[in-house]
Amino acid sequence: MGAPQQGVTTPTNGAVRATGRRRTRAALAIGALVAVAGASAVTVALLGAGIAARGTGELHIPAPGTTTVLRAAVFTALALHLGELAGARLTGTGPTPRSWALWTALGGAAAAAGQIVLLAEVSDLDLTATYGTRDGGLLLAMANGFALAAGCVALRRPGWATGPLALVIGAEAMRAHPEPYTPEWGTALTVVHLTAASLWVGGLLYALRTTRLRGGAAREVLVRYARLAGWLYVALAATGTCSTLRRLPADVVFSTAYGRVLIAKLALVAVASALALAARRRLRRGGDATRPARAEVAALAGVVLVSAVLTVVPDPHWLSLRSALLR
């Protein structure tokens, strides 16, 4: 038999073309989802705090959108760097993904420095005077911590970055709790909460990046991560509950920006938790948990963004106190 004539569709050619069309449609669908997710993230970052505060009567926060973007960048850099440090230990021997530590540390330093510049602008202070303020000094410590972490990576001593990153976490926890009533408790809760959240998000992303290189050993990588994730979830739930009870009066849950944003955050955490349970169930049955784990990362990215909004909106205590005085 001779070769097929040109232009004649054979079963093999038809299957190849069908596969190509399916891949093209899948790529277009993924691109559309990424574009929608990106546009939604930008909208939430720039407008989220203002929308949440609408109708609450709370004080206006200057430059809320820019502040949210910069704080989200800090949280992302912290999660990626800590996740890589922990993930390198969890995943054991074998091929490892390319390190992002240097760029995430530099990005975190730039985001912290950007907050200093923004603080100086909205406060009508020069940079030297801004460094002397409480927030300015803590932001400077965060920027220096990230810079030191980048230096550790550049010197090929990535493990040394743990100390500078701990400085960043401590400074952010202190910045987030300027209230006069037992700030040390709020700071301690935030240190644990922020560390656990960073390890959950960054560790899962690093584990998924590693699974792409391990082939048949990919499942073992996720199993090792799942063991740590269980303890991280317990720490997050405990510290998050304590922080909420301490910071958010029950009578203003729905009437303050803080309460509204917190509800959105809890909804996203619930979605991420359900996906984590689905992935864990598949692992126990010996199946592939990659798909629910990827969806979990997407949900956690939303949690990080909404958490940044939560740090920008006003403290809800003053509104609860005002309502009590007006009764």
Residue 210 neighbours by CB distance under 10 Å: 24
Report the half-sphere exposure of 40 (CA within 13 A, side-chain side). 12
What's the whole-number mean pLDDT along residues 77-103?
Answer: 91
Q: Is the pLDDT of residue 8 over 60?
A: no
Rounded to two decimals, the pTM is 0.87
Instruction: Cite the beta strand spans of the chain per DSSP E.
Output: none
What's the whole-number mean pLDDT along residues 87-113?
Answer: 92
Task: Give the confidence band of 319 by pLDDT, cuts at 50, 70, 90.
Answer: low
Residue 244 neighbours by CB distance under 10 Å: 16
Question: Helices marked H in the chain — which ranges?
Answer: 11-52, 64-90, 101-123, 127-131, 134-154, 162-175, 183-214, 218-247, 257-284, 290-310, 317-326
- What pLDDT digit, counting tens, does each position of 212-234 carry? 887 767 788 888 999 999 999 99
Given a contact cutoff of 8 angstroms between Cβ atoms, the answer to whether 259 and 248 are in contact is yes
Name the phi and psi angles at 144, rounded to 5.
-65, -35
Q: Is the pLDDT of residue 323 over 70?
A: no
> Which residues, 6+ apart, have CB-to-CB distance to 10 below 8 Å?
4
- Rounded Cα distance between 101 and 157, Å, is 11
- What pLDDT digit, counting tens, does each position of 111-138 carry? 999 999 999 999 999 999 999 999 999 9
- The more confidently predicted of residues 53 and 179 is 53
Q: Is the pLDDT of residue 72 over 80?
A: yes
Least confident of 80-89, 131-140, 170-179, 291-300: 170-179
Given a contact cutoff of 8 angstroms between Cβ atoms, the answer to whether 70 and 118 are in contact is yes
- Rounded Cα distance between 165 and 285, Å, is 37
Given a contact cutoff of 8 angstroms between Cβ atoms, the answer to whether 135 and 112 are in contact is no
> Which residues, 6+ apart, have CB-to-CB distance to 129 below 8 Å?
120
CA angle (72, 279, 284) in 5-degree steps? 145
Per-residue model confidence (pLDDT) at position 265: 96
Residue 261 neighbours by CB distance under 10 Å: 24
Q: Is the pLDDT of residue 10 over 80?
A: no
- Rounded Cα distance between 164 and 200, Å, is 19
Domain boundaries, the chain: 62-315
- What type of residue sits at position 52? A
Per-residue model confidence (pLDDT) at position 43: 80
Given a contact cutoff of 8 angstroms between Cβ atoms, the answer to whether 92 and 119 are in contact is no
Task: Give the confidence band of 251 by pLDDT, cuts at 50, 70, 90.
Answer: confident
Given a contact cutoff of 8 angstroms between Cβ atoms, the answer to whether 95 and 133 are in contact is no
